[in-house]
Chain A
Amino acid sequence: MNCYPEFTCRLSTSRDEINFRWSRTKCELAKKFPGSPEVPAMADERERYFKDELDSSQEREKHEFKLNGGSFLFGPDREEPVGAATPMDVSESGLYTSAGSDIQSQKDLAEECLQEEFEQVHGEVRVPDYMSQIRQIIPGMDLEVARRLVEKYQDGRDVVSKAISEYFEEGPVAENKKPGNSNSPMSGSSGNDSGDGNNRSFGGLFVARGKRHKEITPRPAKRLKSGIEWRKFIGSLQVNAMATRPTLRPLKYGSELEIIKSSGGVPTSKLYNANGRKRVSMASFVKIFDTQQNREIGRLPEDVAQIVYPLIDTDDVIFEATMVFCENKRLSIGDGFVLQLDCFLTSSIFDEDKDGEHISSQSVRWGSNNSMVETEEELQSRSKKVGLLSLFDKLRLRIVDDNTDDMGGSTTNDDDDDVEVIDLDNENNQDEKLDSIVSGEDDEVRRLSSQEEGVMNLNQLKVFYKATQSSDSLKTLPETEPPSNTINLSLRKYQKQGLTWMLRREHEFEKAADSQGFQNIDGNMMNPLWKCFKWPKDMSWTAQRIQDHAETDLGKFFYANLHTGEFCLEKPVLKTLMKGGILSDEMGLGKTISALSLIFTSPHDSSSVDKHLFTSGNEDEGLSLPSSQSSKKPYAPKTTLVIVPTSLLSQWHSEFTKFNNSPDLYCEIYYGGNVSSLKTLLTRTKNPPTVVLTTYGIVQNEWTRILKMNRRDADMDSTTGLFSIKFYRMILDEGHVIRNRTTSTSKAVMDISSNCRWVMTGTPIINRLDDLYSIVKFLKLEPWAQISYWKMFVSDPFERKDYRQAFDIVNAILEPVFLRRTKQMQDIDGRPLVELPPKQVVVEKLTFNETQNTIYRHYLEEAETSVKKGLARGDLFKKYSTILVHILRLRQICCDVRLLGTQDENDEDLSKSNQLFKESLDVDRIYRKVGFDEKSDRLDLECLDAIKSKIQEKYPTPDSLKMLECSICTADPIELHKVLFTECCHSFCEDCFKEYFEFQRQKELDLKCPNCRELINKNYFFTLVLKGGEAPQVVPVREVAKPAKIEALLKHCTMLQETSPGQQIVVFSQFSSFLDILETELTNAFLGNGVKIYKFDGRLNLKERATVLEGFSTKDFDNQKVLLMSLKTGGVGLNLTCASHAFMMDPWWSPSMEDQAIDRIHRIGQMNQVKVTRFIVENSIEEKMLKIQERKRTIGEAMDADEEERRKRRIDEIQMLFE
């Protein structure tokens, strides 16, 4: 508080802000340039200002007192300037305690008083300018201390700065005088200790500060109301009150006043509008009473009244008012006078909610007004909360940074309120926080100032992850070796550490290594909703003047939840009773293995199983639960439910079996129908399955069914399936599946009961920070699982671009339950967690074949026109989905024109009902339409027919076709599916001719038949089409031309087959129809010759998936195995380390999806160098997509704040595409 050299009380509120800023600026100046002449100059100015203001006191509404004397709230050493108005009787010095010489202290006292009267005292003080300078900088500094300092340094240079630095460096010795003194009787002439702890010993010099005291009305210590054990000072306000009744005599300095609420029974609802704004002037309801005469004398200014009003009658806050200044004259109506308003918190406010679950009562307090009109009570409590907040704000109670108070007062400076060096920036932040909690009105400003939101977005995800992975603590986690009698697997170091962490999270301390006595896994993270406050030094009137003042020792801090108005003395530690957590290791670090090791290490709930055996020696008895308990789901203490994406089901199952080393443990796959009663199986059999494996789809299915049944018949007994049991443990693999909490899958998953709940996901955030909410909700991580909390503390700050707050809170939420390791992380010995063989990703640029090119140009033109129109009209956004269709088509053409007209199963933005899709897409028709005009079209067809018959004449029998020779490569005969005829009926290998064609084209030479040198037309090539068993058909090439990518893929496969046979190859594409085409093409190309083709996409059922994967992964040195994999279906979870070659047929918008896919291969277990080839068609939309991917990689795409921004960004991308 010391950094505020002044405090301003005012009647008008408008200037508050400016004054506040002014004072702060000065404070900063003073700190930066100690001793600079500007500071005293300003002080003078201010004094003048104050005087002027006093003179013009006619205008009461604008009246502002500027009180010199530093922070009168906490500045313990400065007396209020009001003393200046009353004659000062130094002979009252019986009140002084003096350790120094009396004369000296009297002299000091004189100085002090003189200064306070704003007289020019400089002449009389020995070293006047230094003193005042120092005291400008540290307003609370004792005159005596200042004088000593000046004396010490005055002969040298830089007096002020030296003095100040000594002041800070030496750190006045803690005033640990225990309150023994303060208990001394009031009458004692040696009594006034002027408030315990006000004295400062400094540099070995003990100074008992003289305390000027006036003739004050002795005031008995107030009796506290019953039920209130103690009260504690939190600050004082200097208030300019206005007299409402004339007084006969001037009110005495120090006379006790009382603040009384006199709403006259007006209900709270009348005082506030429906929106919570106050309706009437509060000032008229808050009266100041003279307690001795028991009559009203005045009222508080409106701003104070507003704060005080809702708090007056509560037991939580006590106000004490003392008359301090009335110009020593009798008051007429309308006159101003100054009073000191001491504020205390009482024990009653701390009484509630002592346990960790602070929040539970909160919903009762504020949460229950669902669109109903607030009840009187609610309104009162809310206004009380607002009042408290504003009071705190007004008192400038400072939030103590949680991190610093963890020390628990072990630092030396900690005990002294006055020497705390306050980092102004920090202060700034804290204030802002408080502000934003209180008002939230500066949102506009914030929004305006965050124009560079792109910059803010930069790497937010990284920031988030960095914040959530406290790698240092992870490194030191002990390792737990899973028991070898159950698991047949050796874990990596970090996996063992992860196991320890997971066991601790499940409170299975005895199973985890080095966890004896390790009970509080959650650490002592403070609940981020709560703020820590330091009790200020008691500066209340009573404390300073009255000795009967037993200070209650309550520790140094108190804690308040400013959002709910709850208070607490003990640190509100976040206690998560929840068992489980989020294992968010990066892809490829073996989350599945970690989950399995957890299951195998702790297959049953030990506590429950033991108890079970103990209580019921007779098993049957224990199992036949009385029906009265049926409302509670029976507990399956031996079973872990694992929910996985369908594609991973078989992998999980096989891994379980692979690692299982115990005959008692087994895994059951639950398809919904295959187990008649899961409940019976799990709770009533002797050896229930250790793992029940099921998929999200099945869970969702069952849930919907039960929901329907319940709707029809409420009594329907639906309790045989997943929802009828409470599992021991539940694991969501690829848990980000539930990121949208409104989907039925998420809802279903959340409805399953389990003791421990786990989420495994490498990507907890896909698009939005809110993706985390679903996970938190699933984990039942209170209180965050309540959407209102999440919204208030995470979503809203994030939307306000208050990223720091949002991340802080998210971090606090997740810290105890979140474990993430990345491949880049190093273990304690500095070795990377995972060492994988190198990975090589090559972009192979391809060129369109003729057909593709022609059609592509056509569609590109169409799309460009459409985009340009959209941009010109500014309604690109409306045309959004149309444009996406255009783009989709271009992308499809890049793969294969035959894809045109099929859907893009991955693009949720694409409305399937889009008009453009309804256009029929006959490729041949399009090609003809695009390539030729009507007339030549007909000619063209005739020509084709003529050539066709010519060829057929020349080679009438299938046998004659088998004797063809290629003059280019001298192959003899040409393989039938590779034959190409020119219009002059000469035959070549397709590849040879293509090479020739390209060569001629590049050299700009005529295209002539190599054999007869006739000029030939590329449109009139023919080829043979073989359909099983039938005679080869002669068809125009352009109807069957292989798209560039298929060509390239075939070429690569052939090459691989030649160089290293028996390879396994994974081919990714996002279009499953393209996979179909590839399947046919590959089959045709190799005719089953040494190549086996597998296809894996969303259309396969579980069994088929398992078969495919198993078939593919079996090594076969005679056969090359090609797995055609849909990017979406196979992108996650699967382990395909048996392959070391991958081909990405088409690029996807987000690079992460492709990375995911590549990581199927490049992950733990991969022994060989991985080679990935990405096919990109040159000069096409795909090249631009690559650029967009690059961009996304740099700006951290995952943090797109919301749907709208995401769309906006995509429009940007569209523009990029058509630049």
Chain B
Amino acid sequence: MASLPKRIIKETERLASDPVPGIGAEPHEDNLRYFAVTIEGPKESPYEDGIFELELYLPDDYPMEAPKVRFLTRIYHPNIDRLGRICLDVLKNNWSPALQIRTVLLSIQALLASPNPNDPLANDVAEDWIKNEELAISKAREWTTLYAEKK
């Protein structure tokens, strides 16, 4: 593996020294490009009180290429599928090298706060969401308690 670019080191340091509230990201011991991430469910969202685990990987071309992020914790969300894949523009075409791990994770947190069923990844969830938002939200809450409860 290529040596770690300064930028990654710098980001990692800053994530540790100046963490984003509600977000934790720690590089793996063996691979500094692989991060274990935790995101607290945003307040006043169906995911409140849940702690969601994610994995984040910085590809070799980072920061030219977006980091790869995936939910490990099951979540009921129209933009996140059963495998934990996230549908988020900044992780795709709207990536810019000016973005960082921190900003990406913030975006994900924001996505939890405002699901967008019109641009779904998990179609069944999105359908539920559109048909009966309340039911969907309660199901999301249920899942949060079930899978992402604080320990």
Stretch at the interface among B3-11, B29-37, B107-115, B117-125: B3-11
Residues of B in contact with A, size category? 10 to 19
A996 and B97 form a contact (CB under 8 A): yes
Which residues of chain A come closer than 8 Å to B65, judged between CB atoms? 999
Partner of B7, one of A968, A1000, A1009, A1011: A968
Any chain A CB within 8 A of the CB of B16?
no
Partner of B98, one of A968, A995, A1000: A968
A999 and B7 form a contact (CB under 8 A): no
Which residues of chain A come closer than 8 Å to B5, judged between CB atoms? 969
Any chain A CB within 8 A of the CB of B132?
no
Chain B residue with minimal CB distance to A999?
Answer: B64
- Among A985-1001, those with CB < 8 Å from B are 992, 995-996, 999-1000
B96 to chain A, nearest CB (A): 4
Chain B residue with minimal CB distance to A992?
Answer: B97
Any chain A CB within 8 A of the CB of B24?
no
A1010 and B7 form a contact (CB under 8 A): no
Can you list, as one digit per residue, whether each of B63-100 has a CB less than 8 Å from chain A (1) or not (0)? 11100000000000000000000000000001011111
Tell me whether A970 and B61 are in contact in the complex, defined as CB-CB below 8 angstroms, given that A996-B97, A1010-B97, A1013-B96 are known contacts: no
Complex CA–CA separation, A1009 to B99 (angstroms)? 12
Partner of A1010, one of B10, B11, B96: B96
B61 and A1010 form a contact (CB under 8 A): no
Which residues of chain B come closer than 8 Å to A1011, judged between CB atoms? 96, 98
A996 and B7 form a contact (CB under 8 A): no
Chain A interface main SS type? loop
Name which of B6, B11, B63, B99 has the most chain A CB atoms within 10 A of its CB. B63
Complex CA–CA separation, A42 to B64 (angstroms)? 92
A967 and B6 form a contact (CB under 8 A): no
- Among A646-669, those with CB < 8 Å from B are none
Partner of A969, one of B7, B61, B94, B99: B7
B94 and A1013 form a contact (CB under 8 A): yes
A970 and B7 form a contact (CB under 8 A): yes
Tell me whether A996 and B64 are in contact in the complex, defined as CB-CB below 8 angstroms, given that A968-B7, A969-B5, A969-B6 are known contacts: yes
Which residues of chain B come closer than 8 Å to A996, judged between CB atoms? 64, 97
B90 to chain A, nearest CB (A): 10
A898 to chain B, nearest CB (A): 31
B100 to chain A, nearest CB (A): 7
Complex CA–CA separation, A1008 to B5 (angstroms)? 22
A967 and B64 form a contact (CB under 8 A): no
Partner of B100, one of A970, A992, A999, A1009: A970
Which residues of chain A come closer than 8 Å to B96, judged between CB atoms? 1008-1011, 1013
B11 and A970 form a contact (CB under 8 A): yes
B94 and A968 form a contact (CB under 8 A): no
Partner of A967, one of B10, B61, B94, B97: B97
A192 to chain B, nearest CB (A): 103
B89 to chain A, nearest CB (A): 11
Partner of A999, one of B10, B61, B99: B61
- Among A960-1016, those with CB < 8 Å from B are 967-971, 992, 995-996, 999-1000, 1008-1011, 1013
Complex CA–CA separation, A656 to B96 (angstroms)? 64
A73 to chain B, nearest CB (A): 87
Name which of A967, A970, A996 has the most chain B CB atoms within 10 A of its CB. A970
Complex CA–CA separation, A1011 to B94 (angstroms)? 11
Which residues of chain B come closer than 8 Å to A1013, judged between CB atoms? 94, 96
A1214 to chain B, nearest CB (A): 41
B6 and A1010 form a contact (CB under 8 A): no
B58 to chain A, nearest CB (A): 14
Complex CA–CA separation, A968 to B95 (angstroms)? 12
- Among A884-924, those with CB < 8 Å from B are none
Tell me whether A995 and B64 are in contact in the complex, defined as CB-CB below 8 angstroms, given that A968-B7, A969-B7, A970-B11 are known contacts: yes
A970 to chain B, nearest CB (A): 5
Which residues of chain B come closer than 8 Å to A1000, judged between CB atoms? 64
A76 to chain B, nearest CB (A): 91
- Among B1-51, those with CB < 8 Å from A are 5-7, 10-11
Complex CA–CA separation, A999 to B61 (angstroms)? 9
B2 to chain A, nearest CB (A): 13
Complex CA–CA separation, A999 to B97 (angstroms)? 11
Complex CA–CA separation, A1118 to B100 (angstroms)? 37
Complex CA–CA separation, A971 to B63 (angstroms)? 13
A968 to chain B, nearest CB (A): 4
B66 to chain A, nearest CB (A): 12
B115 to chain A, nearest CB (A): 24
Which residues of chain A come closer than 8 Å to B99, judged between CB atoms? 1010
Q: List 25 A-B contacts (CB under 8 A).
A: A967-B97, A967-B98, A968-B7, A968-B63, A968-B97, A968-B98, A969-B5, A969-B6, A969-B7, A970-B6, A970-B7, A970-B10, A970-B11, A971-B6, A996-B64, A996-B97, A999-B61, A999-B64, A1008-B96, A1009-B96, A1010-B98, A1010-B99, A1011-B98, A1013-B94, A1013-B96
Top 5 nearest A-B pairs (CB, nearest first) are: A967-B98, A1010-B98, A999-B64, A1010-B96, A968-B97
Instruction: List B residues at the A interface (Cβ < 8 Å).
Output: 5-7, 10-11, 61, 63-65, 94, 96-100
